């Protein structure tokens, strides 16, 4: 071997790959370091930096508002926690309605089609406003005028439209031979859906639905516009009180602490699924 | 009365005829083998017999009853005619035992406890006793195909259809699946096979039908078809295959 002593039994190819890996690592770290240095050194040179630093990255304000904002974030988590399962169920109902074959149930199909068209076509914030202000405007008695109920409903209705489409893509991705095999055993159409198609379809779209969960996690903040003092609204209160934008940065950091691990998890799921299928 | 009878059956897809004017009788306990090139209509014919595909013209009789009547509910008929596919089509999210038990449980409303001894006996019989709890992706092709056969048998069908069930298998796994067919034949099961296993067809079939471009060109006992084919198409096909 040409490189005897260095490789300790490695082949020519393995040695080459090791050199290539090392070279790639060095280049990647050098260029990353250069970019970070440039940002750290150049941004403070901007004329307004002191002012920006003071109003967005004020350490004192950060520490003072963090505990309360974290507590306000619990409300976001709570709203998320009851919305997510309801979306999963309602979206499945819509997805199944769009797939019904029986002519007697055709109205369900029309309803589901219009439903997904409408709720995917309207901005979430508009739905939150219309339902969150509109329904309590009917003069309902407590607790039925609560913005929590109607705000959550707005999120559930909107997100279900997207998730229903994800379910449907999962249903359609199940090969026709599975349906044929199930029918050939004499199973009814409903049983084929329930025991053969849906369990496979739902599993297959878990990574896609994880992305919807992450989006929902963030959109819970939209409810602040109709009343609940969750993290975004609490940050707004602090902003007015302290004349400082740092509370918004705190809120962003808290959101990221949840959504970044969740995103990584979703990516890992997707990667695992792709590996399993190849 | 024939167990299964096809009279002048025609089937096409999007205006392209796949099966034309097919007439065929299958007597009780017979093994009928359909042979012919890919695309000759063997698979389509089997799918029509199981009512997975509606036929365009002609009629299919099961014990004298016209099962090709369009108004008929296909589900009760399908329960009487089992089919096994080339690509196994096991349900990947269920264990082998669950695959087998699904239809009896849902269709015959049997409970697991009462089913288990029967299912176990079937798995034993086909040499899969230790594979019941395995998932399809943990089984070899031959094992998967045998589970698929057990799944169809668990519905206690009167007739079994086999659609090129050994075509997707490694050569050394073909034997174990053909053994299952021999076993079924010895127990008197009525069977129709689409197959490329000419040796097996010659040895085990009671009747062989040669399909060419959607038509049964020639049919008869295996000795006649394989040793003294009359139609030039049959001769050409066998020459190409047996070589």
Per-residue confidence band for A1, with pLDDT thresholds at 50, 70 and 90 = very low
Helix (H) or strand (E) holding B232: helix B232-242
Instruction: Provide the β-strand partners of residue B162.
Output: B84, B193
Q: How large is the average pLDDT for residues A160-178?
A: 95
pLDDT of residue B243: 63
Q: How far apart are the first and last CA of chain B?
A: 39
Specify the CATH superfamily of domain B4-242.
P-loop containing nucleotide triphosphate hydrolases (3.40.50.300)
* Chain A residues within an 8 Å CB radius of B87: 177
Residue of A nearest to B50 (CA): A184
Per-residue confidence band for B17, with pLDDT thresholds at 50, 70 and 90 = very high
Q: How large is the average pLDDT for residues B166-183?
A: 89
Per-residue confidence band for B54, with pLDDT thresholds at 50, 70 and 90 = very high
CA distance B83 to chain A (A): 7
Domain regions of chain B by residue span:
4-242
Is the bond preceding residue A114 a cis peptide, omega within 30 degrees? no
CA distance A181 to chain B (A): 6
pLDDT of residue A111: 95
The predicted-structure confidence for B111-127, as pLDDT tens digits, reads as follows 999 999 999 999 998 88
Interface A:B, Cβ pairs < 8 A: 60
Q: Is the model's pLDDT at B84 over the cut of 50? A: yes
pLDDT of residue A148: 87
Q: Is A67 on the interface with B (CB under 8 A)?
A: no
Q: Which of B4, B80, B13, B22 is nearest to B219 (CA)?
A: B22
DSSP for B109-163?
---HHHHHHHHHHHHHHTT-GGGTT--GGGS-HHHHHHHHHHHHHTT--SEEEEE
Q: Which of A147, A152, A145, A144 is nearest to A78 (CA)?
A: A152
Q: Are B145 and B66 in contact (CB under 8 A)?
A: no
Q: Is B83 on the interface with A (CB under 8 A)?
A: yes
Q: How large is the average pLDDT for residues A50-76?
A: 91
Q: Is the model's pLDDT at B47 over the cut of 80? A: yes
pLDDT of residue A65: 92
CB contact under 8 A, A195 and B102: yes
Q: How large is the average pLDDT for residues A13-34?
A: 95
Per-residue confidence band for B171, with pLDDT thresholds at 50, 70 and 90 = confident
CA distance B207 to chain A (A): 25
Q: Is B110 on the interface with A (CB under 8 A)?
A: no
CB contact under 8 A, A188 and B75: yes
Q: Is the model's pLDDT at A277 over the cut of 70? A: no
Q: How large is the average pLDDT for residues B142-150?
A: 94
Q: Are B155 and B118 in contact (CB under 8 A)?
A: no
CA distance B151 to chain A (A): 8
Mean pLDDT of chain A: 90
């Amino acid at each position: 071997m040409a490189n005897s002593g260095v490789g300790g039994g490695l082949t020519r190819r393995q040695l080459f790959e090791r050199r290539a890996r090392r070279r790639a690592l060095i280049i990647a770290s050098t260029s990353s370091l250069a970019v970070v240095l440039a940002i750290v050194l150049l941004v403070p040179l901007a004329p307004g930096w002191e002012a920006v630093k003071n109003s967005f990255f004020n350490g004192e304000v950060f520490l003072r508002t963090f505990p309360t904002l974290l507590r306000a974030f619990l409300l976001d988590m709570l709203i998320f926690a009851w919305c997510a399962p309801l979306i999963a169920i309602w979206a499945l109902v819509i997805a199944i309605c769009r797939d019904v074959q029986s002519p007697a149930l055709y109205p369900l199909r029309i309803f589901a089609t219009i439903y997904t068209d409408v709720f995917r076509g309207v901005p979430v914030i508009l739905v939150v406003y219309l339902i969150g202000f509109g329904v309590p405007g009917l003069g309902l008695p407590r607790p039925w005028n609560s913005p929590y109920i109607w705000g959550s409903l707005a999120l559930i209705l909107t997100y279900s439209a997207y998730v229903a489409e994800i379910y449907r893509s999962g249903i359609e991705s199940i090969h026709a031979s599975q349906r044929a095999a199930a029918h050939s055993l004499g199973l009814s159409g409903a049983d084929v859906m329930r025991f053969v198609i849906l369990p496979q379809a739902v599993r297959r779209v878990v990574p896609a639905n994880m992305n919807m969960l992450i989006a929902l996690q963030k959109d819970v903040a939209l409810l602040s516009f109709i009343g609940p003092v969750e993290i975004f609204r609490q940050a707004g209160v602090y902003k007015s009180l302290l004349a400082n934008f740092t509370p918004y940065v705190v809120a962003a950091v808290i959101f990221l602490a949840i959504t970044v691990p969740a995103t990584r998890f979703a990516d890992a799921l997707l990667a695992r699924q792709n590996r399993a299928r190849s | 009365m024939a167990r299964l009878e096809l009279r002048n059956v025609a089937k096409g897809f999007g205006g392209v005829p796949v099966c034309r004017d097919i007439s065929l009788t299958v007597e009780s306990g017979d093994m009928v083998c359909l042979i012919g090139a890919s695309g000759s209509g063997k698979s389509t014919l089997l799918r029509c017999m199981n009512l997975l595909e509606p036929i365009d013209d002609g009629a299919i009789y099961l014990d004298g009853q016209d099962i090709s009547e369009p108004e008929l509910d296909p589900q009760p008929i399908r329960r009487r005619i089992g089919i096994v596919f080339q690509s196994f089509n096991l349900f990947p999210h269920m264990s082998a035992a669950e695959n087998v038990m699904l239809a009896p449980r849902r269709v015959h409303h049997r409970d697991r406890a009462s089913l288990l001894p029967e299912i176990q006996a079937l798995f034993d019989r086909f040499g899969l006793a230790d594979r019941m709890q395995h998932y399809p992706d943990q089984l070899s092709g031959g094992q998967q195909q045998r589970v698929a056969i057990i799944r169809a048998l668990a519905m206690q069908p009167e007739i079994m259809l086999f659609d090129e069930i050994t075509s997707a298998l490694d050569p050394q796994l073909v034997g174990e699946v053909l053994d299952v067919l021999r076993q079924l034949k010895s127990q008197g099961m009525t069977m129709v096979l689409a197959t490329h296993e000419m040796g097996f067809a010659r040895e085990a079939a009671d009747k062989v039908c040669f399909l060419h471009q959607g038509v049964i060109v020639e049919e008869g006992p295996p000795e006649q078809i394989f040793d003294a084919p009359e139609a030039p198409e049959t001769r050409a096909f066998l020459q190409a295959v047996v070589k």
